[in-house]
Each structure stands twice: as C-alpha cells, then as structure tokens.
Amino acid sequence: MNVTQSKKPRVVVVSGGSRGLGKAIVAELLAEGDIVYTFSRSQTEFVTSLMAGPESQRFSWRAIDGTDFESVEHYVNEIFEREGRIDALVNNAGIAIDGVLTLMRTEDISSLLGLNLEGAIRLARSCAKFMLQARAGSIINISSIIGIRGYSGLSVYSATKAGLDGFTRGLARELGGRGIRVNSVAPGYLETDMSEKLNPDQRDQIIRRTPMGRLGKSADVTGAIKFLISDEARFITGQTVVIDGGITC
C-alpha cells in the first residue's frame, strides 16, 4: 500500500503493537502515513526493524507493561507534549489464559482482569482527556467473539472481552457529544501467535464451524480498524463489529 500524502498524518496510540494483531495494526497505520506510538512488555524483531528503518520518524515504541498504569499514563502525556494531539487509540493489548474457573490460579484471574479490562479502561481515560480538548477522536477496543459466545475454559477471558464491549457502549454515550467515537472490533480465531496454541483437532473443528472455511487473517481485521478510525465512519459509534468468518451467525 502506498503512503497517503494528501491527508494530515493522524497520531495513533496502539497498545501491544509488537506482535500478532497489534503488529499488523501498526504496520497498516504506518503504511497509511500515520504517526504511530506503541508499547509492549518486550521488544521484538518487528519493533527493532521499524526503529532502524525509514518509518522511524513516524514510529515510537516504549517497553511498558500494560498493567503499569502510571508508566502508561506518563507515556500518553509524553505523546501529547510531543505531538500536541492524540487522534486515535487502538486498545489492543491483551492476554489469553484458559482454565476451568474453579481450578484457575487467583493470580491468573487478576492478570486477565488487570491487562485486558482495567488496562484498556485506564489507557482510554488517559487518551480521552486529550481528545476532549480537541473535540475529536476515535477509540477502538479490540474485544473478541469469546466475549459474545460462551466457550468452556475461557470464562474469565470472556468476562474481560464482554466488559470491553460494555465499556465501549457506555463510553460512546459519554463522549459522543464531544465528537469522539468509541467502537469495538471483535475478531474470531486468527492466524496469529495465539492460534498457534491450538492443536490440529481444535483447529480443524473451528474451521469446520466457520462458514468461510478458514481462520481469519490479521488483514481481515486491520481493514475494519482503519475504516472505523477514518472520517468515513464519522457517524458510527458504540458498535461492536464482529469479524469472524460467520462462526457466530
């Protein structure tokens, strides 16, 4: 994709942008000509290549754990001080820990709630205060079909993603009058690092149950995110866009 030169670059914050879906989101936004700030717990080869490449003037990465709320807020404040605005946020960082609820470790429950839900809420709050000043902005929360449909062994993960969808609707009502849109994107099973944990039987079963007959690709999701951030989606807010090849239909 060619970098678009005719529009002013947007300043976009992406949490968890070093691998998986987050990596694809960062790459797509950079290809659009946007200025992208991201953070994750560890640096990857993808991050290293961007920092050393031609995109380095429009890309910034910081090593931050998404549950280190003070460091996350400080980073967002730094972004605003440097750029003077934050146009969009993609709340992507998250972890998946499976396990039957009665056997799950308390620390795993806390980790899921802390990063997937509280981390996303706190990051949205940090970015929204600057969007309110501009009376414009777009927040995209990456939820999941698992928050819509029940899956055995994923009750806590499901709770965090369903919580994100509820947060999306409530925040959309709070911020809509100030020109800020809030939406969720709920992917199905994607060909990412997380899906590599599936055994062949699980993978085949998911594909059989999916009308489109395959797992999703990151590109299937990034197009929707790019659209929801854009001016073309200026009257869309409070929605959860499901991208799952039809498995929930």
Q: Are 73 and 121 in contact (CB under 8 A)?
A: no
Q: How many residues does the chain have?
A: 249
Alpha helix positions (H), 32-141: 45-52, 69-83, 106-112, 120-134
Angle between helices 218-229 and 20-31 in degrees, nearest 10: 50
Alpha-carbon distance 168 to 181, whole Å?
9
Strand order in the sheet with 240-243: 59-63, 35-40, 11-15, 88-91, 137-142, 180-187, 240-243
Q: How many CA atoms lie within 13 A of 249 on its CB side?
A: 10
Fold of the domain built from segment(s) 11-242: Rossmann fold (3.40.50)
Partners of 61 in beta bridges: 38
Quick: pLDDT tens for 41-82. 999 999 999 999 999 999 999 999 999 999 999 999 999 999
Q: What's the pLDDT score for residue 3?
A: 45
* Boundaries of every domain in the chain: 11-242
For the segment 82-133, what is each residue's pLDDT rounded down to a tens digit?
A: 999 999 999 999 999 999 999 999 999 999 999 999 999 999 999 999 999 9
Residue tagged active-site, from 37, 75, 151, 157: 157
What percentage of the chain carries pLDDT values higher than 90?
A: 90
157 is catalytic: yes
**For residues 55 and 7, what is the distance between their CA atoms, to the nearest angstrom?**
17
Measured distance CA(34)–CA(7) in Å, rounded: 9
Instruction: Give the contacts of 118 (CB within 8 A, at least 6 positions apart).
Output: 67, 69
Q: Which helix or strand (DSSP H or E) is residue 241 part of?
A: strand 240-243
Look up the pTM and report it. 0.94
The rounded Cα 5 to chain-centroid distance in angstroms is: 25
